[in-house]
Amino acid sequence: EAGVVQSPRYKIIEKKQPVAFWCNPISGHNTLYWYLQNLGQGPELLIRYENEEAVDDSQLPKDRFSAERLKGVDSTLKIQPAELGDSAVYLCASSFGPLAGGKETQYFGPGTRLLVL
Amino acid sequence: QQQVKQSPQSLIVQKGGISIINCAYENTAFDYFPWYQQFPGKGPALLIAIRPDVSEKKEGRFTISFNKSAKQFSLHIMDSQPGDSATYFCAATAGGTSYGKLTFGQGTILTVHP
């Protein structure tokens, strides 16, 4: 079974440029998460989707970050414009939905490593 | 109140030894406590998880001990192997409207010497 797929794996951009990350979750997983992981830290949730609906985006810096999950499958996370402090790993994860009876394990993709110069 | 505090930051053990990582939490609404293992360049992968209705869960060489009254839980790795060298994260989440919102600890870098 294929895991969570993310692309690109690495991205280097100049500050003030836009950048986008793509995620394809595990087939059948209704819930999709975007996390930010700074070096030496645990992941921090940015946004959670249930199908197409963003049900928790309280930690998403909405002035420069946006996300979408069209058709409830793939998702894109965008930063515009990028700042130096955005350099980090952006992780996507997926799981079965809250009605799945205890199947709340989140499966993470390999992440996109962003470096803003 | 949402924090999960993890210690130690780094841990070095010899092959065959026992690795112990500790976590503490404040939010009594947390009802699911997973441990994740992360290798360099990879995303975190679920290692083992526990709910607060049991005090211990064992899977192979990995054991979670849970102390609900102290709001603490720990990961024990028995017979540690060099292949266990990785970063370990404890996490916690609550149900209801907080479903799926994992709060991670700061991580422990484990090094197992041959």
Whether chain B has a CB inside 8 Å of the CB on A108: the answer is yes
Please check whether residue B6 is in contact with residue B91, taking contact to mean a CB–CB distance below 8 angstroms: no
Test A106 with B32 for CB contact under 8 angstroms: no
| One-letter identity of residue A8 | P
- pLDDT level of residue A92 (50, 70, 90 thresholds): very high
**Average pLDDT value over all residues in chain B:** 93
Res B76 pLDDT > 90: yes
**What contacts B22, CB < 8 A, 6 or more positions away?**
B6, B7, B8, B72, B73, B74
Provide Rg for chain A, Cα atoms: 14
Res B37 pLDDT > 60: yes
Residues of B with CB under 8 A from a CB of A: 6, 32, 34, 36, 41-46, 49, 89, 91, 93, 95, 99-102, 104-107
Query: Angle CA(B74)–CA(A96)–CA(A98) in degrees, nearest 5?
Result: 80
Which pLDDT belongs to residue A99?
64
**What is the sign of the dihedral through the CA atoms of B49, B53, B59 and B65?**
positive
**Which residue from A24, A21, A22, A20 is spatially nearest to A3, judged by alpha carbons?**
A24
Whether chain B has a CB inside 8 Å of the CB on A25: the answer is no
Test B43 with A4 for CB contact under 8 angstroms: yes
List pLDDT tens digits, range A70-84: 888 999 999 999 999
B32 CB neighbours in chain A (<8 A) are 104
Query: Angle CA(B43)–CA(B48)–CA(B49) in degrees, nearest 5?
Result: 110
Res B103 pLDDT > 70: yes
B105 CB neighbours in chain A (<8 A) are 42
Which pLDDT belongs to residue A42?
94
What whole-number distance in Å separates Cα of residue A77 and Cα of residue B32?
27
Query: Which residue among B42, B44, B101 sits closest to A48, beta carbon to beta carbon?
Result: B101
